[in-house]
Structure 1
Amino acid sequence: MLCGVSDQWIPCDIDPALHPLVSARLRRGPVRLTVDGTSTLGHLVESVGVPLTEVGVLLADGAPVPASHLPSPAEHVAVRAVSRPQQVPGAPLRFLLDVHLGTLARRLRLLGVDAAYDSVDAGDPALAARSAAERRVLLSRDRGLLQRREPWAGAYVYSHRPEEQVRDVLGRFRPQLRPWTRCTACNGTLREAGADEVHEALEGGTRRSYEVFARCTACGKVYWRGAHFARLDAMVREAVAEFGAVPPG
Protein backbone atom coordinates (compact mmCIF):
# COMPACT_ATOMS: atom_id res chain seq x y z
CA MET A 1 0.00 0.00 0.00
CA LEU A 2 1.24 3.47 -0.83
CA CYS A 3 1.15 6.72 1.09
CA GLY A 4 0.85 9.47 -1.52
CA VAL A 5 0.99 9.45 -5.30
CA SER A 6 4.68 9.15 -6.10
CA ASP A 7 5.96 5.83 -7.47
CA GLN A 8 9.08 6.17 -5.29
CA TRP A 9 8.40 4.50 -1.98
CA ILE A 10 10.23 2.74 0.78
CA PRO A 11 9.12 -0.11 3.05
CA CYS A 12 8.41 0.89 6.63
CA ASP A 13 8.65 -1.60 9.48
CA ILE A 14 6.30 -0.30 12.17
CA ASP A 15 6.49 -1.67 15.71
CA PRO A 16 3.48 -3.97 16.39
CA ALA A 17 2.66 -1.86 19.46
CA LEU A 18 1.94 1.04 17.08
CA HIS A 19 -0.28 -0.88 14.65
CA PRO A 20 -3.54 0.35 16.27
CA LEU A 21 -2.53 3.89 15.29
CA VAL A 22 -1.91 3.16 11.62
CA SER A 23 -4.69 4.45 9.38
CA ALA A 24 -7.27 1.73 8.76
CA ARG A 25 -6.77 1.86 4.99
CA LEU A 26 -3.10 0.95 5.47
CA ARG A 27 -3.47 -2.01 7.83
CA ARG A 28 -4.02 -4.73 5.23
CA GLY A 29 -0.38 -5.18 4.33
CA PRO A 30 3.17 -3.83 4.82
CA VAL A 31 3.28 -0.06 5.13
CA ARG A 32 5.11 1.84 2.43
CA LEU A 33 6.06 5.50 2.63
CA THR A 34 6.26 7.79 -0.37
CA VAL A 35 9.52 9.72 -0.70
CA ASP A 36 9.67 13.00 -2.60
CA GLY A 37 12.99 14.47 -1.48
CA THR A 38 11.36 17.13 0.70
CA SER A 39 9.16 15.30 3.25
CA THR A 40 10.93 14.31 6.46
CA LEU A 41 10.69 10.84 7.93
CA GLY A 42 8.80 12.25 10.90
CA HIS A 43 6.20 13.80 8.59
CA LEU A 44 5.81 10.56 6.65
CA VAL A 45 5.34 8.52 9.82
CA GLU A 46 2.66 10.91 11.05
CA SER A 47 0.99 10.81 7.64
CA VAL A 48 0.15 7.13 8.19
CA GLY A 49 -1.42 7.90 11.56
CA VAL A 50 1.38 7.52 14.13
CA PRO A 51 2.08 10.66 16.23
CA LEU A 52 5.75 11.20 17.02
CA THR A 53 4.83 11.20 20.72
CA GLU A 54 4.51 7.42 20.35
CA VAL A 55 7.83 6.92 18.57
CA GLY A 56 10.89 5.95 20.55
CA VAL A 57 13.40 5.50 17.74
CA LEU A 58 13.38 6.03 13.98
CA LEU A 59 15.78 3.85 12.01
CA ALA A 60 17.10 4.13 8.46
CA ASP A 61 18.95 1.04 7.27
CA GLY A 62 19.28 0.04 10.92
CA ALA A 63 20.83 3.29 12.17
CA PRO A 64 18.99 5.79 14.40
CA VAL A 65 17.99 8.99 12.61
CA PRO A 66 16.12 12.15 13.73
CA ALA A 67 12.57 12.93 12.67
CA SER A 68 14.04 15.57 10.35
CA HIS A 69 15.83 12.89 8.30
CA LEU A 70 15.06 13.00 4.56
CA PRO A 71 14.72 9.36 3.46
CA SER A 72 15.89 8.17 0.06
CA PRO A 73 14.26 5.50 -2.13
CA ALA A 74 17.11 3.09 -1.36
CA GLU A 75 16.54 3.07 2.39
CA HIS A 76 14.60 0.72 4.61
CA VAL A 77 13.10 2.53 7.58
CA ALA A 78 11.70 1.26 10.86
CA VAL A 79 9.61 2.85 13.60
CA ARG A 80 10.02 1.66 17.18
CA ALA A 81 7.60 2.50 19.99
CA VAL A 82 8.63 4.45 23.09
CA SER A 83 10.19 2.32 25.78
CA ARG A 84 8.34 1.78 29.03
CA PRO A 85 8.67 3.26 31.54
CA GLN A 86 9.20 6.38 29.48
CA GLN A 87 11.58 8.97 30.85
CA VAL A 88 10.25 12.53 30.62
CA PRO A 89 12.77 15.33 31.26
CA GLY A 90 12.10 17.71 34.09
CA ALA A 91 10.24 17.38 37.36
CA PRO A 92 7.75 17.03 38.78
CA LEU A 93 5.84 14.87 36.32
CA ARG A 94 2.48 16.50 35.61
CA PHE A 95 -0.31 15.79 33.15
CA LEU A 96 -2.91 17.68 31.13
CA LEU A 97 -5.92 15.75 29.82
CA ASP A 98 -8.25 16.73 27.01
CA VAL A 99 -11.99 17.16 27.48
CA HIS A 100 -12.79 13.52 26.64
CA LEU A 101 -10.72 12.03 29.48
CA GLY A 102 -12.57 13.28 32.55
CA THR A 103 -12.89 9.88 34.22
CA LEU A 104 -9.19 9.20 33.74
CA ALA A 105 -8.38 12.60 35.24
CA ARG A 106 -10.44 11.88 38.36
CA ARG A 107 -8.85 8.46 38.83
CA LEU A 108 -5.34 9.85 38.47
CA ARG A 109 -6.17 12.52 41.03
CA LEU A 110 -7.51 9.85 43.37
CA LEU A 111 -4.04 8.31 43.21
CA GLY A 112 -2.40 11.64 43.97
CA VAL A 113 -1.18 12.30 40.42
CA ASP A 114 -1.19 15.93 39.25
CA ALA A 115 -3.76 15.79 36.43
CA ALA A 116 -5.08 19.08 35.06
CA TYR A 117 -8.43 18.86 33.28
CA ASP A 118 -11.29 21.16 32.31
CA SER A 119 -14.73 19.84 31.38
CA VAL A 120 -15.11 22.79 29.00
CA ASP A 121 -13.45 22.13 25.65
CA ALA A 122 -10.73 24.77 25.39
CA GLY A 123 -9.77 23.72 21.86
CA ASP A 124 -6.59 22.16 20.53
CA PRO A 125 -4.48 25.35 20.29
CA ALA A 126 -5.21 26.27 23.94
CA LEU A 127 -4.45 22.75 25.20
CA ALA A 128 -1.20 22.62 23.26
CA ALA A 129 -0.18 26.04 24.55
CA ARG A 130 -0.98 25.11 28.16
CA SER A 131 1.06 21.92 27.87
CA ALA A 132 4.05 23.99 26.76
CA ALA A 133 3.56 26.79 29.30
CA GLU A 134 3.08 24.48 32.31
CA ARG A 135 5.39 21.68 31.12
CA ARG A 136 2.66 19.07 31.33
CA VAL A 137 2.42 15.80 29.43
CA LEU A 138 -0.66 16.12 27.21
CA LEU A 139 -2.82 12.99 27.28
CA SER A 140 -5.32 12.49 24.48
CA ARG A 141 -6.97 10.04 22.12
CA ASP A 142 -6.88 12.71 19.40
CA ARG A 143 -3.95 11.97 17.14
CA GLY A 144 -4.31 15.32 15.40
CA LEU A 145 -3.86 17.14 18.72
CA LEU A 146 -0.76 15.10 19.53
CA GLN A 147 0.73 15.87 16.12
CA ARG A 148 0.80 19.58 16.87
CA ARG A 149 4.27 20.96 17.50
CA GLU A 150 3.46 23.17 20.50
CA PRO A 151 2.94 20.63 23.35
CA TRP A 152 5.84 20.14 25.73
CA ALA A 153 5.26 16.36 25.68
CA GLY A 154 2.35 14.11 24.85
CA ALA A 155 1.01 10.59 24.86
CA TYR A 156 -1.78 8.77 23.11
CA VAL A 157 -4.26 7.00 25.41
CA TYR A 158 -4.94 3.71 23.67
CA SER A 159 -8.07 2.38 25.38
CA HIS A 160 -11.64 3.63 25.71
CA ARG A 161 -11.98 1.95 29.12
CA PRO A 162 -10.98 4.09 32.14
CA GLU A 163 -9.48 1.18 34.10
CA GLU A 164 -7.25 0.29 31.14
CA GLN A 165 -6.41 3.96 30.58
CA VAL A 166 -5.14 4.25 34.16
CA ARG A 167 -2.91 1.19 33.81
CA ASP A 168 -1.64 2.48 30.46
CA VAL A 169 -0.62 5.88 31.88
CA LEU A 170 0.84 4.47 35.10
CA GLY A 171 2.74 1.76 33.26
CA ARG A 172 4.13 4.16 30.69
CA PHE A 173 5.20 7.05 32.94
CA ARG A 174 5.39 5.54 36.43
CA PRO A 175 4.35 8.74 38.22
CA GLN A 176 4.71 8.84 41.99
CA LEU A 177 1.46 7.76 43.62
CA ARG A 178 0.24 9.59 46.73
CA PRO A 179 -3.33 8.31 47.14
CA TRP A 180 -5.98 10.45 48.82
CA THR A 181 -3.93 13.67 48.60
CA ARG A 182 -5.67 15.42 45.68
CA CYS A 183 -9.14 16.77 45.09
CA THR A 184 -10.85 14.71 42.40
CA ALA A 185 -12.96 17.73 41.47
CA CYS A 186 -10.29 20.38 40.86
CA ASN A 187 -6.85 18.74 41.29
CA GLY A 188 -6.04 20.82 44.38
CA THR A 189 -4.24 19.33 47.38
CA LEU A 190 -6.13 17.97 50.39
CA ARG A 191 -5.45 18.58 54.06
CA GLU A 192 -6.97 17.04 57.15
CA ALA A 193 -9.86 18.98 58.65
CA GLY A 194 -11.72 18.70 61.93
CA ALA A 195 -15.47 18.16 62.09
CA ASP A 196 -16.01 21.63 63.56
CA GLU A 197 -14.08 23.20 60.71
CA VAL A 198 -16.25 21.62 57.98
CA HIS A 199 -19.50 21.64 59.96
CA GLU A 200 -21.27 24.02 57.58
CA ALA A 201 -20.58 21.79 54.57
CA LEU A 202 -22.06 18.61 56.09
CA GLU A 203 -25.57 17.29 56.42
CA GLY A 204 -26.72 16.14 59.86
CA GLY A 205 -26.35 12.44 59.14
CA THR A 206 -22.82 12.88 57.89
CA ARG A 207 -21.82 14.94 60.93
CA ARG A 208 -23.09 12.19 63.23
CA SER A 209 -21.62 9.26 61.30
CA TYR A 210 -18.06 10.37 60.48
CA GLU A 211 -15.16 11.87 62.37
CA VAL A 212 -12.33 12.01 59.81
CA PHE A 213 -12.48 14.64 57.07
CA ALA A 214 -10.27 16.29 54.47
CA ARG A 215 -10.75 19.56 52.64
CA CYS A 216 -9.40 20.82 49.34
CA THR A 217 -7.11 23.80 49.81
CA ALA A 218 -8.15 25.14 46.39
CA CYS A 219 -11.93 24.72 46.01
CA GLY A 220 -12.95 23.89 49.59
CA LYS A 221 -14.64 20.58 48.76
CA VAL A 222 -14.95 18.31 51.82
CA TYR A 223 -14.19 14.57 51.74
CA TRP A 224 -14.97 11.70 54.11
CA ARG A 225 -15.09 7.92 53.91
CA GLY A 226 -18.64 7.61 52.66
CA ALA A 227 -20.64 4.97 50.82
CA HIS A 228 -18.28 4.84 47.84
CA PHE A 229 -15.08 4.55 49.84
CA ALA A 230 -14.80 0.74 49.67
CA ARG A 231 -14.98 0.75 45.86
CA LEU A 232 -12.50 3.59 45.53
CA ASP A 233 -10.17 2.06 48.11
CA ALA A 234 -10.11 -1.21 46.16
CA MET A 235 -9.16 0.73 43.03
CA VAL A 236 -6.38 2.53 44.88
CA ARG A 237 -5.04 -0.66 46.46
CA GLU A 238 -4.92 -2.39 43.08
CA ALA A 239 -2.92 0.45 41.53
CA VAL A 240 -0.53 0.69 44.49
CA ALA A 241 0.03 -3.07 44.48
CA GLU A 242 1.10 -2.96 40.85
CA PHE A 243 2.87 0.39 40.59
CA GLY A 244 3.86 1.29 44.17
CA ALA A 245 3.29 4.45 46.17
CA VAL A 246 5.32 7.12 47.90
CA PRO A 247 5.45 6.47 51.67
CA PRO A 248 3.53 9.13 53.62
CA GLY A 249 5.44 11.82 55.43
Structure 2
Amino acid sequence: MNEVTVRAYGPLNDFLPAHRRRVSWPHLVDDHPSVKDLIERFGIPHPEIDLILVNGVSVSFDYIVQSGDRIAAFPRFMMFDIGRLTRVRPRPLEPIRFVADVHLGKLARHLRLAGLDTAYRADADDAALADLAVREGRILLTRDVGLLMRRSVTHGYFVRTTRAHGQLVEVLRRYGPLDLQPFSRCLRCNARLRQVPKSAVDGVLLPRTRRHYEQFEMCTGCGRVYWKGSHWKRLKAAVDAACGEAERPEG
Protein backbone atom coordinates (compact mmCIF):
# COMPACT_ATOMS: atom_id res chain seq x y z
CA MET A 1 0.00 0.00 0.00
CA ASN A 2 1.05 3.58 -0.67
CA GLU A 3 0.48 6.41 1.80
CA VAL A 4 -0.50 9.91 0.72
CA THR A 5 -1.47 13.02 2.65
CA VAL A 6 -4.61 14.97 1.77
CA ARG A 7 -6.00 18.36 2.78
CA ALA A 8 -9.02 20.37 1.63
CA TYR A 9 -9.33 24.12 1.96
CA GLY A 10 -12.16 26.61 2.41
CA PRO A 11 -15.72 25.55 1.53
CA LEU A 12 -14.50 22.12 0.35
CA ASN A 13 -14.47 21.25 4.04
CA ASP A 14 -18.29 21.35 3.96
CA PHE A 15 -18.19 17.89 2.38
CA LEU A 16 -15.93 16.31 5.01
CA PRO A 17 -16.63 14.81 8.44
CA ALA A 18 -15.59 17.00 11.36
CA HIS A 19 -12.32 15.19 12.07
CA ARG A 20 -10.99 15.89 8.57
CA ARG A 21 -11.91 19.54 8.30
CA ARG A 22 -9.06 22.07 8.02
CA VAL A 23 -6.39 19.48 8.77
CA SER A 24 -4.13 17.19 6.76
CA TRP A 25 -4.77 13.46 7.06
CA PRO A 26 -2.89 10.36 5.90
CA HIS A 27 -4.55 7.88 3.57
CA LEU A 28 -3.47 4.45 2.39
CA VAL A 29 -3.98 3.75 -1.31
CA ASP A 30 -4.00 0.16 -2.58
CA ASP A 31 -4.68 1.00 -6.24
CA HIS A 32 -3.64 3.70 -8.72
CA PRO A 33 -6.45 6.28 -8.75
CA SER A 34 -6.47 9.62 -10.48
CA VAL A 35 -6.31 12.53 -8.08
CA LYS A 36 -9.91 13.37 -9.06
CA ASP A 37 -11.15 9.92 -8.09
CA LEU A 38 -9.17 9.94 -4.86
CA ILE A 39 -10.54 13.29 -3.72
CA GLU A 40 -14.09 12.28 -4.62
CA ARG A 41 -13.73 9.19 -2.41
CA PHE A 42 -13.82 11.61 0.50
CA GLY A 43 -17.08 13.16 -0.73
CA ILE A 44 -15.74 16.28 -2.47
CA PRO A 45 -17.32 16.67 -5.95
CA HIS A 46 -14.87 17.73 -8.66
CA PRO A 47 -16.87 20.73 -10.00
CA GLU A 48 -16.31 22.41 -6.61
CA ILE A 49 -12.51 22.20 -7.02
CA ASP A 50 -10.60 25.04 -8.67
CA LEU A 51 -7.00 24.04 -7.98
CA ILE A 52 -5.12 20.88 -6.98
CA LEU A 53 -1.52 21.01 -5.81
CA VAL A 54 0.51 17.82 -5.48
CA ASN A 55 3.78 18.40 -3.68
CA GLY A 56 3.31 22.09 -4.42
CA VAL A 57 2.80 21.62 -8.16
CA SER A 58 -0.49 22.29 -9.97
CA VAL A 59 -1.89 19.12 -11.58
CA SER A 60 -4.92 18.11 -13.64
CA PHE A 61 -7.70 15.76 -12.54
CA ASP A 62 -6.03 12.96 -14.53
CA TYR A 63 -2.84 12.96 -12.46
CA ILE A 64 -2.15 9.45 -11.10
CA VAL A 65 -1.50 9.48 -7.38
CA GLN A 66 1.98 8.35 -6.28
CA SER A 67 3.29 7.11 -2.94
CA GLY A 68 4.25 9.98 -0.64
CA ASP A 69 2.21 12.60 -2.47
CA ARG A 70 0.96 15.58 -0.49
CA ILE A 71 -2.35 16.55 -2.07
CA ALA A 72 -4.07 19.88 -1.48
CA ALA A 73 -7.49 20.71 -2.97
CA PHE A 74 -8.71 24.30 -3.19
CA PRO A 75 -12.13 25.82 -3.95
CA ARG A 76 -12.83 28.81 -6.15
CA PHE A 77 -10.65 31.79 -5.26
CA MET A 78 -12.81 34.90 -4.86
CA MET A 79 -9.99 37.44 -4.41
CA PHE A 80 -7.23 36.07 -6.65
CA ASP A 81 -6.95 35.18 -10.32
CA ILE A 82 -5.39 31.72 -10.58
CA GLY A 83 -6.35 31.15 -14.20
CA ARG A 84 -2.73 30.73 -15.30
CA LEU A 85 -1.97 28.33 -12.44
CA THR A 86 -4.89 25.92 -12.30
CA ARG A 87 -5.07 22.84 -14.50
CA VAL A 88 -8.52 21.68 -13.39
CA ARG A 89 -10.74 24.70 -13.95
CA PRO A 90 -12.91 24.29 -17.06
CA ARG A 91 -13.46 27.10 -19.52
CA PRO A 92 -16.08 29.54 -18.15
CA LEU A 93 -19.55 29.25 -19.61
CA GLU A 94 -20.87 32.32 -21.41
CA PRO A 95 -23.54 33.41 -20.99
CA ILE A 96 -24.18 32.08 -17.49
CA ARG A 97 -27.20 29.78 -17.51
CA PHE A 98 -28.38 27.27 -14.93
CA VAL A 99 -30.20 23.99 -14.60
CA ALA A 100 -31.63 23.19 -11.16
CA ASP A 101 -32.23 19.69 -9.85
CA VAL A 102 -35.64 18.40 -8.78
CA HIS A 103 -35.12 19.49 -5.16
CA LEU A 104 -34.53 23.14 -6.10
CA GLY A 105 -37.83 24.14 -7.68
CA LYS A 106 -38.22 27.22 -5.47
CA LEU A 107 -34.67 28.33 -6.23
CA ALA A 108 -35.34 27.92 -9.96
CA ARG A 109 -38.37 30.20 -9.61
CA HIS A 110 -36.34 32.80 -7.70
CA LEU A 111 -33.56 32.74 -10.31
CA ARG A 112 -36.10 33.21 -13.09
CA LEU A 113 -37.62 36.05 -11.09
CA ALA A 114 -34.19 37.70 -11.10
CA GLY A 115 -34.06 37.26 -14.88
CA LEU A 116 -31.59 34.37 -15.00
CA ASP A 117 -32.01 31.61 -17.58
CA THR A 118 -32.79 28.57 -15.41
CA ALA A 119 -33.97 25.22 -16.72
CA TYR A 120 -36.06 23.08 -14.35
CA ARG A 121 -38.22 19.99 -14.65
CA ALA A 122 -39.78 18.38 -11.60
CA ASP A 123 -39.63 14.92 -13.21
CA ALA A 124 -36.04 15.04 -14.54
CA ASP A 125 -33.76 12.21 -13.43
CA ASP A 126 -30.03 12.57 -12.75
CA ALA A 127 -28.97 11.41 -16.21
CA ALA A 128 -31.28 13.92 -17.89
CA LEU A 129 -30.02 16.77 -15.71
CA ALA A 130 -26.37 15.97 -16.39
CA ASP A 131 -27.06 15.62 -20.11
CA LEU A 132 -28.91 18.95 -20.26
CA ALA A 133 -26.12 20.72 -18.38
CA VAL A 134 -23.53 19.48 -20.87
CA ARG A 135 -25.63 19.81 -24.02
CA GLU A 136 -26.83 23.36 -23.35
CA GLY A 137 -23.76 24.63 -21.50
CA ARG A 138 -25.53 25.15 -18.18
CA ILE A 139 -24.22 25.26 -14.62
CA LEU A 140 -25.80 22.42 -12.64
CA LEU A 141 -27.20 23.53 -9.28
CA THR A 142 -27.95 20.68 -6.92
CA ARG A 143 -28.29 19.43 -3.36
CA ASP A 144 -27.16 15.97 -4.50
CA VAL A 145 -23.41 15.38 -4.17
CA GLY A 146 -23.64 12.17 -6.21
CA LEU A 147 -25.17 14.03 -9.14
CA LEU A 148 -22.37 16.60 -9.02
CA MET A 149 -19.79 13.80 -9.12
CA ARG A 150 -20.94 12.51 -12.51
CA ARG A 151 -17.91 12.56 -14.80
CA SER A 152 -19.74 14.39 -17.58
CA VAL A 153 -20.55 17.35 -15.33
CA THR A 154 -17.92 20.07 -15.69
CA HIS A 155 -19.71 23.11 -14.26
CA GLY A 156 -21.75 22.68 -11.12
CA TYR A 157 -22.33 23.86 -7.60
CA PHE A 158 -23.64 22.25 -4.42
CA VAL A 159 -26.17 24.65 -2.88
CA ARG A 160 -25.54 24.73 0.86
CA THR A 161 -28.52 26.77 2.06
CA THR A 162 -31.92 25.11 2.39
CA ARG A 163 -34.29 28.12 2.17
CA ALA A 164 -35.03 29.61 -1.25
CA HIS A 165 -34.13 33.24 -0.46
CA GLY A 166 -30.81 32.20 1.04
CA GLN A 167 -30.17 29.93 -1.93
CA LEU A 168 -30.70 32.84 -4.31
CA VAL A 169 -28.25 34.99 -2.34
CA GLU A 170 -25.74 32.13 -2.35
CA VAL A 171 -25.91 31.61 -6.12
CA LEU A 172 -25.75 35.35 -6.87
CA ARG A 173 -22.71 35.67 -4.62
CA ARG A 174 -21.01 32.63 -6.14
CA TYR A 175 -21.46 33.67 -9.78
CA GLY A 176 -21.74 37.45 -9.51
CA PRO A 177 -21.59 40.10 -10.53
CA LEU A 178 -24.35 39.23 -12.99
CA ASP A 179 -26.24 41.40 -15.44
CA LEU A 180 -29.67 40.84 -13.96
CA GLN A 181 -32.91 41.72 -15.72
CA PRO A 182 -35.61 41.01 -13.11
CA PHE A 183 -39.11 40.13 -14.32
CA SER A 184 -37.92 39.35 -17.84
CA ARG A 185 -38.60 35.58 -17.74
CA CYS A 186 -41.62 33.39 -17.26
CA LEU A 187 -41.74 31.81 -13.81
CA ARG A 188 -43.54 28.78 -15.24
CA CYS A 189 -41.44 27.86 -18.29
CA ASN A 190 -38.33 30.14 -18.28
CA ALA A 191 -39.02 31.70 -21.71
CA ARG A 192 -38.64 35.46 -22.16
CA LEU A 193 -41.52 37.89 -21.70
CA ARG A 194 -42.57 40.54 -24.20
CA GLN A 195 -44.81 43.56 -23.81
CA VAL A 196 -48.23 43.25 -25.42
CA PRO A 197 -51.13 45.69 -25.80
CA LYS A 198 -54.01 45.24 -23.41
CA SER A 199 -56.28 44.42 -26.34
CA ALA A 200 -54.19 41.32 -27.08
CA VAL A 201 -54.91 39.76 -23.67
CA ASP A 202 -58.27 41.34 -22.80
CA GLY A 203 -60.10 38.08 -23.31
CA VAL A 204 -58.18 36.24 -20.55
CA LEU A 205 -58.28 39.00 -17.91
CA LEU A 206 -60.51 38.94 -14.86
CA PRO A 207 -62.83 41.96 -14.55
CA ARG A 208 -60.88 43.45 -11.63
CA THR A 209 -57.56 43.13 -13.50
CA ARG A 210 -59.10 44.62 -16.63
CA ARG A 211 -60.32 47.65 -14.65
CA HIS A 212 -57.13 48.44 -12.74
CA TYR A 213 -54.18 47.60 -15.04
CA GLU A 214 -53.08 48.80 -18.45
CA GLN A 215 -49.59 47.32 -19.00
CA PHE A 216 -49.11 43.62 -19.67
CA GLU A 217 -46.45 41.16 -20.72
CA MET A 218 -46.86 37.72 -22.24
CA CYS A 219 -44.56 34.70 -22.13
CA THR A 220 -43.14 33.93 -25.56
CA GLY A 221 -43.18 30.23 -24.66
CA CYS A 222 -46.35 29.22 -22.84
CA GLY A 223 -48.42 32.39 -23.32
CA ARG A 224 -48.89 33.16 -19.63
CA VAL A 225 -49.85 36.80 -19.00
CA TYR A 226 -48.11 39.01 -16.41
CA TRP A 227 -48.86 42.43 -14.95
CA LYS A 228 -47.64 44.49 -11.99
CA GLY A 229 -50.29 43.44 -9.53
CA SER A 230 -50.31 43.82 -5.76
CA HIS A 231 -47.72 41.07 -5.44
CA TRP A 232 -45.20 42.81 -7.73
CA LYS A 233 -43.78 45.18 -5.09
CA ARG A 234 -43.27 42.27 -2.69
CA LEU A 235 -41.43 40.22 -5.31
CA LYS A 236 -39.31 43.20 -6.36
CA ALA A 237 -38.37 43.85 -2.74
CA ALA A 238 -37.31 40.20 -2.36
CA VAL A 239 -35.09 40.36 -5.46
CA ASP A 240 -33.57 43.69 -4.39
CA ALA A 241 -32.86 42.32 -0.91
CA ALA A 242 -31.17 39.21 -2.30
CA CYS A 243 -29.00 41.30 -4.64
CA GLY A 244 -27.99 43.56 -1.76
CA GLU A 245 -27.08 40.61 0.47
CA ALA A 246 -25.08 38.98 -2.32
CA GLU A 247 -22.97 42.11 -2.76
CA ARG A 248 -21.98 42.17 0.92
CA PRO A 249 -19.00 40.05 2.06
CA GLU A 250 -19.87 36.79 3.80
CA GLY A 251 -19.58 36.65 7.55
TM normalised by structure 1 equals: 0.87
Report the equivalent of 1:165.
167
1:185 CA drift (Å): 0.9
1:76 equivalent in alignment to 2:70: yes
8 A contact 1:18–1:50 mirrored in 2: yes
Cα separation, 2, equivalents of 1:34 and 1:204? 72
Displacement of 1:50 in angstroms is 0.4
Q: Which of 61, 64, 67 pairs up with 2:61? A: 67
Aligned AA (1:57): L
AA aligned to 1:200 is: G
Q: Which residue of 2 aligns with 1:145?
A: 147
* CA drift at 1:31: 3.7
The one-letter code sitting in structure 2 at the alignment partner of 1:154 is: G
| Superposition misfits of 4+ residues, deviation over 6 angstroms | none
Q: Does 1:211 align with 2:202?
A: no
TM-score normalised to structure 2 length: 0.86
Q: Distance between the aligned counterparts of 2:112 and 2:90, measured in 1? A: 21
Partner of 1:247: none
Contact 1:84–1:171 under 8 Å retained in 2: no
Give structure 2 stretches of 5+ with no counterpart: 80-88
User: What is the aligned-residue identity percentage?
Assistant: 37
Given the alignment of the two structures, is residue 136 of structure 1 paired with residue 138 of structure 2, yes or no?
A: yes
Query: Residue 161 and residue 243 in structure 1: after superposition, are their counterparts in 2 closer, same or farther (change >3 A)?
Result: closer
Cα offset, 1:34, TM superposition: 3.0
Equivalent residue pairs, number: 237
Which residue identity is paired with 1:56? D
Q: Structure 1: 5+ residue runs without aligned partners?
A: 1-5, 245-249
Could you tell me which residue of structure 2 aligns to residue 3 of structure 1?
A: none
Deviation at 1:98, TM superposition (A): 0.7
Q: Note if contact 1:177-1:240 (Cα within 8 Å) is conserved in structure 2.
A: no
**Paired position in structure 1 for 2:97:** 94
1:238 to 237, 241, 246: 241
Give the drift of 1:26.
Answer: 5.1
Deviating more after overlay: 133-142 vs 146-155: 146-155
Q: Is the 8 A contact 1:26 1:48 kept in 2?
A: no
* Match 1:113 to one of 116, 124, 133: 116
Residue 12 of structure 1 aligns to a residue whose secondary structure is strand
Pick the aligned partner of 1:193 from 190, 193, 196. 196
Note the C-alpha offset of 1:135. Answer: 1.1
Equivalent residue number for residue 176 of structure 1: 179
Letter in 1 for 2:194: R
Mean CA deviation greater in 31-40 or 105-114: 31-40
Q: CA deviation at 1:48?
A: 0.5
Q: Report if the CA contact (8 A) 1:23-1:48 is conserved.
A: no
The alpha-carbon deviation at position 24 of structure 1 amounts to: 6.4
Aligned CA distance change for structure 1 residues 137 and 63 (closer, same or farther; 3 Å): same
1:61 partner amino acid: N
Does the Cα contact within 8 Å between 2:7 and 2:22 map onto a contact in 1?
A: no
Larger mean Cα displacement after TM superposition, 210-219 or 147-156: 147-156
Q: Give the superposed CA RMSD.
A: 2.3
